[in-house]
Amino acid sequence: MRTVLWPTQRLMVEYLGMKALEPFVAYGAPRVSSEERSAYLRQLSDRLTMIADEMRQGANT
């Protein structure tokens, strides 16, 4: 996945001075069971919460 996203992350996002976050990948999302899909959504929610917390902490320093 890094190879596929490298041009976008490096040549667009980082070139403009932004930080490229690690991608969140949900493999086979349309074909997984509802339990697996729920797990993907929990992982994404946890990740977004962590990113928001890091941004808040950075804004407070």
Q: What pLDDT digit, counting tens, does each position of 42-51 carry?
A: 999 999 999 9
Q: Is residue 44 part of a domain?
A: yes
- pLDDT tens-digit readout, 10-21: 888 888 888 888
The structural domain count of the chain equals: 1
Domain containing residue 45: 25-61
Give me Rg for the CA atoms of the chain.
15
Judged on CB neighbours under 10 Å (0-12, 13-18, 19+), 16 is: exposed
For 26-36, the pLDDT digits (tens) are 999 999 999 99
- Other beta carbons within 10 angstroms of residue 28's beta carbon come to 9
Query: Is 49 a member of any domain?
Result: yes
Q: Is residue 40 situated within a structural domain?
A: yes
In a domain, 59, yes or no: yes
